[in-house]
Amino acid sequence: MPVLEKGLVLRHIQVSRDMYELEFIAPGIAQDCKPGQFVHIRSALENNPLLRRPLSLYDVDKKLGSITLLYKVVGKGTNLLSRIRPKEYVDAMGPLGRGFSLLAPRKTALLIGGGVGIAPLVYLARVLQCQGCNVKVIHGVENRLELVALPRLRDIGVEFLPATMDGSAGFKGLVTDLVLKKVSPNEIDFIYCCGPEPMMAKVSDFARDNNIAAEISLEEYMACGVGACLGCARKMKSSDDEYKKICKDGPVFNIDEVEF
Ligand SMILES: Cc1cc2nc3c(=O)[nH]c(=O)nc-3n(C[C@H](O)[C@H](O)[C@H](O)COP(=O)(O)OP(=O)(O)OC[C@H]3O[C@@H](n4cnc5c(N)ncnc54)[C@H](O)[C@@H]3O)c2cc1C
Ligand code: FES
């Protein structure tokens, strides 16, 4: 059941040119959070802009009751959010949406993130690692300064393979080329992916071609965030008669449900 909370901001830091990490206290939301779900955040307490912005759970500390978000400043809402300081409050609603399925212990999960699409995969990596899965994370970015999740992933203790377009760290080139060249499909039990749609389309093809089960997290413009307004409705396949609500039926979908 989603909860509305005014969350006290503990930490708010700039982690790259246009990306921020925001940690706030919201025990009512945190206690029910699952990887892949999101919170709907109102950027400014004075209701300007009025609509909330959906942001994935980047990390959750259930003992402390805190939620950490990783977001990129792209427009008015995220710009206003970036000005909130520690000891101020964010207006949060959550947890919302359908999250990732969790793999059984001792199985191997490959998590593939493109850009800020790494956000929902970090909390997933933490939970999978905790329950005894073997976790490999691939993150594709423009340059090494955008590998913002690296310290957290190191702390969690998962295997990490970066891909940078300029070659400043790890594999040089597209994250999907790294997957094709360096991943042995027979070692992977499940793929989780979040990033730009062309990237997720290629990852879905890779998963299907190699018979690996996979889930992706989709993004769509959202208004209510709880399935009431149809603002995020999308036909998943051209042959479908019905529309799915990304906020409620997703944002996580099995690759068999989606046609790019
Ligand atoms: C379930 C979900 C989880 C998300 N998690 C994260 C996250 O963890 N970190 C993060 O940085 N972003 C995330 N996003 C995207 C984030 O919600 C948008 O970037 C944000 O709403 C933009 O608000 P704005 O007012 O700053 O920009 P706006 O002024 O609304 O838009 C600025 C630009 O961003 C584009 N844009 C805005 N919203 C979206 C969207 N939903 N999908 C694609 N393009 C969009 C617009 O086309 C425009 O070019 C998520 C989106 C969804 C649906
Ligand atoms: S945002 Fe309103 S139904 Fe999804």
**Same domain for 116 and 70?**
no
CA separation for the pair 14, 3 (Å, rounded): 27
Calculate what percentage of the chain has a pLDDT beyond 90.
Answer: 89
Both structure tokens of 171:
């594999």
**Same domain for 46 and 112?**
no
Ligand located closest to 222 CA? 2
Is residue 36 included in any domain, yes or no? yes
Q: What separation in Å is there between the alpha carbon of 221 and the centre of ligand 2?
A: 8
123 Cβ contact partners less than 8 Å away, ≥ 6 residues apart: 33, 35, 56, 57, 58, 59, 60
CA separation for the pair 223, 52 (Å, rounded): 7
**Same domain for 51 and 85?**
yes
Is residue 235 included in any domain, yes or no? no
Least confident of 25-29, 42-46, 49-53, 110-114: 42-46
What is the pLDDT at residue 49? 65
**Same domain for 83 and 134?**
no
> What residues does ligand 1 touch, defined as CB less than 6 Å away?
38, 53-56, 70-72, 74-78, 116, 119, 219-222, 251
Is residue 240 included in any domain, yes or no? no
Number of domains observed in the structure of the chain: 2
**Same domain for 25 and 122?**
no
Q: Is 230 close to ligand 2, i.e. is its CB under 6 Å away?
A: yes
Q: Of 217, 236, 252, which residue sits at a domain end?
A: 217
Confidence check: pLDDT of 182 > 90? no
Compute the mean pLDDT over every residue in the chain, rounded to the nearest whole number.
94
Q: Of 96, 125, 140, which residue sits at a domain end?
A: 96
Chain length of the chain: 260
Query: What's the CA angle centered on 171, arms 166 and 177, to 5 degrees?
Result: 100
Is residue 138 included in any domain, yes or no? yes
CATH number reported for the structural domain that contains residue 196 in this entry: 3.40.50.80
Is residue 102 included in any domain, yes or no? no
Confidence check: pLDDT of 254 > 60? yes
- Mean pLDDT over 213-238 rounds to 94
Is residue 77 included in any domain, yes or no? yes
Q: What separation in Å is there between the alpha carbon of 233 and the centre of ligand 2?
A: 7
Number of other CB atoms surrounding residue 190 within 10 Å: 21
**Same domain for 115 and 210?**
yes
Number of other CB atoms surrounding residue 237 within 10 Å: 11
Q: Is 223 close to ligand 2, i.e. is its CB under 6 Å away?
A: yes
CATH number reported for the structural domain that contains residue 61 in this entry: 2.40.30.10
Q: What separation in Å is there between the alpha carbon of 127 and the centre of ligand 1?
A: 25
**Same domain for 30 and 58?**
yes
Buried b (16+ CB within 10 A) or exposed e, 137-172: bbbbbeeeebbbbbebbeebebebbbbbeeeebbbe
**Same domain for 35 and 129?**
no
Is residue 101 included in any domain, yes or no? no
**Same domain for 136 and 58?**
no
**Same domain for 168 and 213?**
yes
Q: Of 96, 126, 152, which residue sits at a domain end?
A: 96
**Same domain for 113 and 213?**
yes
The answer to whether the bond into 95 is cis (omega within 30° of 0) is yes
Which backbone phi and psi does 57 adopt, to 5 degrees? -80, 110
Is residue 252 included in any domain, yes or no? no
Check: CB of residue 90 under 8 Å from CB of residue 84: yes
Sheet strands (E) in the chain: 3-14, 19-25, 38-42, 53-56, 59-61, 66-72, 89-96, 108-114, 134-141, 159-164, 171-172, 190-194, 213-217, 233-234, 244-245, 252-254
The domain containing residue 208 runs over which residues? 108-217
Q: Which residue has the tokens 């990852």?
A: 203
- Mean pLDDT over 216-236 rounds to 94
**Same domain for 112 and 62?**
no
CA separation for the pair 243, 181 (Å, rounded): 36
Confidence check: pLDDT of 47 > 70? no
- Mean pLDDT over 24-41 rounds to 97
How would DSSP label each residue in 141-182? ESSGGG-TTHHHHHHHT-EEEEEETTSSSSEES-HHHHHHHH
